[in-house]
Amino acid sequence: MTWMPIEWARRDSHAAVLSSDLSPGLRMASNVLRALFILCLLAITLRVSMPQSETIWTAYDAPGDLVRMVLGLAVCVWLVVQLFTASMDARHHRTWLYLGLAAVPFALICLIAVW
């Protein structure tokens, strides 16, 4: 393990810049894109996890519908938690800006196709 410098791990942790050093436009754009992506995933998950029959109460008739509904509810709860938790790291905001520019249109297309 002598080939890995000790300073490598410290350099990475000190390179993190707080979001207070970011421009307000970058912070707002990344937060909006992140929220749009998570909301699209939430809507897709809700739509896909609904039972195939007419009402929710008939989900107990088929075990597949019940399992799909319970798993969909768990994923939706996790997505809502992710929606309201955010990191204050500058790399986090830059990543969501770049990822959001590519992922939000794809998620909207998937949402329209599923609905």
Question: Which parts of 50-88 fold into alpha helices (H)?
Answer: 63-84
Tell me what pLDDT residue 102 has.
94
Tell me what pLDDT residue 109 has.
95
Tell me what pLDDT residue 7 has.
60
Nearest to 105 by CA among 44, 27, 47, 36: 36
| Entry pTM | 0.76
- In this predicted model, what pLDDT tens digit does every residue of 16-59 receive, in sequence order? 555 567 788 899 999 999 999 999 999 999 998 887 766 666 66
Q: Which residues pair with 18 in a beta bridge?
A: 89
Tell me what pLDDT residue 14 has.
47
The better pLDDT of the pair 115, 75 is held by 75
